[in-house]
Structure 1
Amino acid sequence: MEIDWAACGKRIKQARESAELSQEEFAEMISLASNSIGRIERGEQHPSVRTLWKMAHALNTSIDYLLDGVDSPQTNEVLLHLRQIGSQLAECTPKQLEYVSQILLRALLLRDDLENYN
C-alpha cells in the first residue's frame, strides 16, 4: 500500500485547523519545528511514526485517519479509553504497572465470558 503523503498532509492540516491550532502552536505541542509542520501538510516531508503518533494524540484522532482517512467510531472510543487509562498508569510504579498489566491481560482473555455476564 502506497501512502498518499499529500492527502495525509491535508488531513493533518484539517485536523489542526479544527482544533484551532496554529502551525506554531501545534509544532510546540509535538516538539517539532513549525516549518516542518507546513512541509508535512503540503506532503513535502514525511513524518516519522513517532511524529505521526504525537500528531494523532495531540489532534485527538488516530494514525489510521491521518494516513488513509479511515477512522471508525470504535477506534475513537478505544483511543478515549486508552488516554484515560494512560493518565492513571503514568502515576504507577513499575511493580504496579506489572500488576495492572496482568489483570488487563486476564480480563481480555475472559472477555467472551464478560459479555455473557451482562
Structure 2
Amino acid sequence: MEIDNDAIGKRIREEREKLGLSREEFAEIIGLSDYYIGQLERGERQMSMPTLIKVANCLHVSLDYLVLGRLSFDAAYICDPNNNTYETWDEGFYEINNLLKKCSPHEIELFKKLIKTILPYMR
C-alpha cells in the first residue's frame, strides 16, 4: 500500500481547522515550524512516526483516520444512553451529557470553544 501524503495533509488541515487553530498555533503546540506544517498539509512532506503520533494526539484523531481516512471505534465512544446503541457506554460521558442538557445554547457554544481551546494541549 502506498501512503497518500496529499490525503493525509488534507485531513490534518481539516482537523486543525475544526479545532480553530491557525497553522502557527498548531505548529507551536506540537513543536514544529509552521512552514513544515504547511508542507505536510500540502502533501509535500512525509512525517516520521514520532511526528505522526504528535499530530494525531494533538488533533485527537486516530492514526487509522490520519493515515487511511477511516475511523476506528473506541470503547469510550459517545452514544445516546436512551438508545443503548453501544454496550461500552462510559458513565463519565453520560454525566457530561446530562450536565450539557441543562445549558442554554449560548452556554453550549462557550463550552465548545473552551474544549476546542484546551483539547490540543491534552495527552
TM-score, normalised by the number of residues in structure 1:
0.62
**Residues 76 and 38 (structure 1), Cα distance of their counterparts in 2 relative to 1, 3 Å cut:** farther
Match of 2:16 in 1: 16
Query: How far off its partner does 1:73 sit?
Result: 2.5
Cα displacement (A) at 1:64: 1.2
Q: In 2, Cα distance between the equivalents of 1:28 and 1:45?
A: 18
Does the 8 A contact of 1:61 with 1:76 survive in 2?
A: no
Q: 1:64 to 1:13 in 2, by over 3 A?
A: same
Residues 53 and 75 of structure 1: is their aligned pair in 2 closer, same or farther, counting only changes over 3 Å? farther
Cα-Cα RMSD: 1.8
- Runs of 4+ in structure 1 over 6 Å off: none
Query: By how many angstroms is 1:71 displaced?
Result: 1.2
Ranges in structure 2 where 5+ consecutive residues have no aligned partner:
78-123
Contact 2:8/2:43 (<8 A) preserved: yes
Unaligned runs of 5+ in 1: 78-118
Counterpart of 1:53 in structure 2 is 53
Structure number with greater CO (CA < 8 Å, separation at least 6) is 2
TM-score after normalising by structure 2:
0.59
1:1-118 equivalences in 2 (<5 Å): 1-74=1-74, 77=77
| Residue identity (%) | 49
Task: Give CA-to-partner distance per residue, 1:37-94, whole Å, 9 cap, x none.
Answer: 00000000111111110011100111111101111222775xxxxxxxxxxxxxxxxx
> For 1:2 and 1:51, how far apart are their aligned partners in 2?
19
Structure with the greater alpha carbon radius of gyration: 1
Which of the two has greater helix per residue? 1
